[in-house]
Amino acid sequence: MLAGALIFIVPPPVATQFHETKAGQYKSITVTPDITVALDANTVITVTNSEPPKVELIQGNVYFDSKRLTLDAGILEIIVGNIRFWNRNANFSLQKHRQGGSIAVTQGQLEINLGNQTRQIGTGQLIDFDNEQIIEESAIIEPNVAPWRRIQ
Q: Which class for 24: exposed (0-12), middle (13-18), buried (19 or more C-beta within 10 A)?
A: exposed
What CATH number is attached to the domain comprising 75?
2.60.120.1440
Q: State which residues form the domain around 130.
A: 14-151
pTM value? Answer: 0.85
Is position 9 within any domain? Answer: no
Question: How many angstroms separate the CA atoms of 74 and 111, rounded?
Answer: 14
- Does 129 map to a domain? yes
pLDDT level of residue 2 (50, 70, 90 thresholds):
low
pLDDT value at 71 more than 70: no
The kind and range of the H/E element at 139 are: strand 134-139
Q: Is residue 1 part of a domain?
A: no
Q: What is the mean pLDDT of residues 20-39?
A: 91
The pLDDT-based confidence of 118 (bands split at 50, 70, 90) is confident
Q: Provide the domain count of the chain.
A: 1
Q: What is the pLDDT of residue 9?
A: 60
The pLDDT of residue 45 is above 90: yes
Band (pLDDT 50/70/90 cuts) for residue 82 is: confident
Residue 7 counted as domain residue: no
Asked if residue 74 belongs to a domain, the reply is yes
Question: Which pairs from 43-46 meet CB under 8 Å and 24+ separation?
Answer: 43/19, 44/18, 44/19, 44/20, 45/18, 45/19, 45/20, 46/16, 46/17, 46/18, 46/19
Is residue 47 a part of any domain in this protein? yes
**Which region, left, alpha or beta, applies to residue 100 given φ > 0 means left and ψ of -120 to 50 means alpha?**
left
- For residue 23, what pLDDT is reported? 93
- Contact by Cβ (8 Å): 107, 121: no
